[in-house]
């Protein structure tokens, strides 16, 4: 054991002499965060589910064949013939939903704590783009089993995109790689799901984490922010003083250990859900037989329900405008205050939107 350890340290020293890895690790790990920061570990949990998705997705891709005549059979093979294949697929399916859920919760936490304000505007924009990519993962991956539910849910979901004014028809053809959901659609979705979206997410994630590292976590107890990004109304303790140390918490190992505990809890919950409620598989996709009740996944249900009760252009343009406002929120919200009591308009709009989306989602689920 001693010999093995010395070899490891010798290898580390070899790389450290050439690339100063020690300095890099110090810069990444030895930072302090405000003790009053309330992240609820939502961002870290979202990252954890992405790691789970990457690992399980790679394992599934070893057996999956993206063609209409083989996709369904390959899923059956994974579930019935591959050791623990059913569990890996179920973990992947549940992980996708939980990744989307916690990404949304993370965004809501940032919004209600006003952590998107100066100087974190671009960090918010990158985070919103990460949410869009996460939804793209869910949309493209849903078709891959090529069963009745996946096929017709993709038909309905892509028709929502086809309802966009002016460019709807072109967007529909682009998504489906043609006017209908066919073998080319499956091939395109698979390529986007395993190549385009992962590469895009990794690039944005690196930028997002770099911004968070450089700017630190926002203090939710601060009074207001100035255009320079500084905090007003709080005494700033001298660097290295006892007052400063009381207000700060080491990222490593304190915060990292808390994150690891949260990851273990999520892993346990994921295994339980995947074991008790494994991912199912309906009959093979049949373009000539439409099921009675076809709905998109839960994160698109509010759009689906909205299109059923309002004019088509309204049901499409309202979410598009809402997404644009969400993306550019830090540049529209010029209120410098952080406390929720001093941001009544933003908080009210946020609560109304959440209640509306949840209500339409439940309505669409029950209808």
Q: What is the pTM of this model?
A: 0.91
The string of pLDDT tens digits covering residues 256-289 is 999 999 999 999 999 999 999 999 999 999 988 8
Could you tell me where the beta strands, DSSP code E, fall in 161-286?
224-225, 231-232, 248-250
pLDDT above 60: residue 230 = no
Q: What is the mean pLDDT of residues 239-244?
A: 51
Q: Which pLDDT does position 34 carry in this prediction? A: 87
pLDDT tens column, 138-149: 999 999 999 999
> How does pLDDT run across 192-224, given as a tens digit for each residue?
999 999 999 999 999 999 999 999 888 888 888
Q: For 64-101, write each residue's pLDDT tens digit.
A: 999 999 999 999 999 999 999 999 999 999 999 999 99
- Average pLDDT value over all residues in the chain: 90
Domains parsed from the chain with CATH numbers: 38-229+239-285 (1.20.810.10)
Which residues 6+ apart lie within 8 Å of 180 measured at CB? Answer: 287
pLDDT number for residue 198:
97
241 pLDDT more than 90: no
Residue 31's pLDDT band (cuts 50, 70, 90) = confident
**Is 147 strand, coil or helix?**
strand
| CB-based contacts of 271, cutoff 8 Å, min separation 6 | 91
Q: Is the pLDDT of residue 240 over 60?
A: no
Kind of pairing, strands 224-225 and 231-232? antiparallel
**Taking residues 296-316, what's their average pLDDT?**
89
pLDDT value, residue 4: 58
- Provide DSSP, 265-323: HHHHHHHHHHHHS-----SBP-TT---SS----GGGHHHHHHHHHS-HHHHHHHHHHHH
Residue with the bigger pLDDT between 256 and 240: it is: 256
**Contact indicator for 56, 91 with CB cutoff of 8 Å:** yes
Lowest-confidence pick of 116-120, 235-239, 331-335? 235-239
């Amino acid at each position: 054991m001693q010999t093995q350890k010395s070899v490891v340290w010798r290898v580390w020293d070899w790389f450290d002499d050439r690339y100063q890895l020690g300095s890099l690790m110090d810069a990444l790990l030895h930072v302090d965060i405000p003790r009053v920061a309330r992240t609820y570990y939502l961002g870290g949990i979202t990252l954890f589910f992405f790691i789970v998705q990457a690992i399980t997705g790679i394992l599934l891709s070893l057996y999956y064949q993206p063609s209409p005549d083989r996709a369904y059979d390959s899923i059956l093979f994974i579930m019935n013939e591959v050791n623990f294949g059913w569990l890996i697929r179920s973990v992947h399916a549940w992980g996708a939903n939980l990744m989307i859920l916690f990404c949304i919760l993370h965004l809501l936490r940032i919004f209600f704590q006003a952590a998107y304000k100066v100087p974190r505007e671009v960090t918010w924009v990158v985070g919103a783009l990460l949410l869009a990519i996460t939804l793209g993962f869910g949309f493209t991956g849903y078709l891959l089993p090529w069963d009745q539910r996946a096929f017709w849910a993709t038909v309905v979901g892509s028709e929502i995109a086809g309802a966009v004014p002016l460019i709807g028809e072109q967007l529909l053809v682009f998504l489906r790689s043609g006017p209908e959901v066919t073998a080319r659609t499956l091939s395109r979705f698979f390529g986007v799901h395993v190549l385009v979206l992962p590469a895009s997410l990794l690039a944005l994630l690196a930028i997002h984490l770099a911004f968070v590292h450089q700017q630190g976590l926002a203090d939710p107890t601060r009074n207001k922010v100035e255009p320079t990004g500084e905090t007003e109304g709080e005494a700033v303790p001298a660097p290295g003083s006892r007052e400063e140390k009381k207000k700060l918490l080491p990222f490593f190992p304190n915060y990292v250990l808390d994150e690891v505990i949260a990851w273990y809890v999520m892993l346990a919950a994921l295994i339980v859900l995947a074991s008790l409620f494994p991912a199912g598989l309906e009959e093979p996709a049949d373009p000539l037989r439409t099921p009675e009740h076809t709905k998109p996944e839960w994160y698109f249900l509010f759009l689906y329900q909205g299109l059923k009760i309002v004019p088509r252009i309204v049901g499409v343009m309202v979410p598009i405008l809402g997404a644009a406002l969400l993306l550019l929120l830090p540049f529209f919200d010029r209120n410098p205050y952080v406390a929720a009591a001093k941001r009544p308009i933003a908080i009210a709009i946020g609560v109304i939107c959440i209640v509306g989306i949840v209500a339409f989602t439940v309505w669409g689920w029950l209808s």
